Amino acid sequence: MKTVRSMVLISNDPKSKANASQEVIAAFKLAIKNLELTDEVAVSTIPEIGTVRNLPLVVIFPEATVYAPVKPEDVPHLVEEHLFKGREVPNLKVKDPDTLRKIAWLTQRKGTLPAENRIVLRNVGIVDPESIDDFFAYEGGQAFATALQMTPELVVEIIKASGLRGRGGAGFPAGIKWDSVRKTPGKKKYVICNADESEPGTFKDRVIMEGDPFSIIEAMLIAAYAIGSDEGYIYIRGEYQLALDRVQIAIQQAREYGGLGKNIFGSGFDFDIHIHAGAGAYICGEETALLESIEGGRGEPRVKPPYPTTSGLWGMPTLINNVETFANIPPIVLNGAQWFKSFGTPSSPGTKVYTILGNVNNTGLIEVPMGITLREVINIYGKGIKGGQFKFAQTGGSSGSIIPASLQDTPMDFDSYRKVGVALGSGALLICNDSNCIVDSVRVLARFFQEECCGKCVPCRVGTDQVWKILTNISEGRGTMEDIAHLEWLSKGLEDFSNCGLGQTAGAPIKNMLDHFRAELEAHIKLSVCPTGVCPMS
Amino acid sequence: MTLTPNQLDPLDNPRMRQVIDSTISEYGDQNGALMVVLNHLQERIGFITKPMQAYVAEKLNVPVSKVHGVVSFYSFFTTEPRGKHLVKFCIGTACYVGGASQLIDKAKQVLGIEPGQTTSDGLITLEVCRCVGACSQAPVVVIDEVNHGRVKPSQFARILTEVQKSEVVA
Contact at CB, B92 and A201, closer than 8 angstroms? yes
Instruction: List all residues of chain B from 29 to 68 with a beta carbon under 8 Å from chain A.
Output: 31-36, 38-39, 42, 66
Distance CA B134, CA A182 (A): 37
CA-closest candidate to residue A233, choices B74, B36, B77: B36
Residues in chain A: 538
* Beta carbon pairs, A and B, within 8 Å: 111
* pLDDT at position A4 over 90: no
Q: For residue A454, what is the nearest residue in chain B, using CA coordinates?
A: B73
What pLDDT score does A111 carry?
Answer: 65
CA A471 to chain centre: 29
pLDDT confidence bin for B1, thresholds 50/70/90 = very low
Q: A266 Cβ partners below 8 Å, 6+ apart?
A: A258
A336 neighbors A318 (Cβ within 8 angstroms):
no
Distance from CA of A145 to the nearest CA of B (A): 31
What pLDDT score does B167 carry?
Answer: 67
Distances (CA, A) of A469 to A156, A465, A530: 48, 6, 17
Task: Name chain B contacts of A202, Cβ cutoff 8 Å.
Answer: 131, 133, 135
More confident: B6 or A382: A382
Evaluate whether the domain defined by B85-169 bears CATH number 3.40.50.620: no
Domain A439-526: which topology?
Answer: de novo design (two linked rop proteins) (1.20.1440)
**pTM value?**
0.86
Contact at CB, A200 and B33, closer than 8 angstroms? no
What pLDDT score does A5 carry?
Answer: 84
What pLDDT score does B170 carry?
Answer: 44
B131 neighbors B90 (Cβ within 8 angstroms):
yes
> Judging by beta carbons within 10 Å of its beta carbon (0-12, 13-18, 19+), is residue B101 exposed, middle or buried?
middle
Q: Which phi-psi region, left, alpha or beta, contains residue A379 (left: φ > 0; alpha: ψ -120 to 50)? A: alpha
> Judging by beta carbons within 10 Å of its beta carbon (0-12, 13-18, 19+), is residue B1 exposed, middle or buried?
exposed
- Bridge partners of residue A322, in order along the sequence: A194
Contact at CB, A203 and B33, closer than 8 angstroms? no
Distance from CA of B72 to the nearest CA of A (A): 9
Contact at CB, B131 and A397, closer than 8 angstroms? yes
pLDDT confidence bin for B168, thresholds 50/70/90 = low
Evaluate whether the domain defined by A6-107 bears CATH number 3.30.70.100: no
Nearest CB to B93: which of A206, A359, A394? A394
Cα end-to-end distance, chain B, whole Å: 17
Task: Name chain A contacts of B76, Cβ cutoff 8 Å.
Answer: 238, 279-280
Q: For residue B36, what is the nearest residue in chain A, using CA coordinates?
A: A296
The mean pLDDT of A374-393, rounded to a whole number, is: 91
The domain segmentation of chain B, as residue ranges, is: 10-73, 85-169
More confident: A451 or A484: A484
* Architecture of the domain defined by A351-433: Roll (3.10)
The domain segmentation of chain A, as residue ranges, is: 6-107, 132-338, 351-433, 439-526
CATH superfamily of the A132-338 domain: NADH-ubiquinone oxidoreductase 51kDa subunit (3.40.50.11540)
pLDDT in tens, A231-242: 999 999 988 889
pLDDT in tens, A460-515: 999 999 999 999 999 999 999 999 999 999 999 999 999 998 999 999 999 999 99
The mean pLDDT of A406-413, rounded to a whole number, is: 93
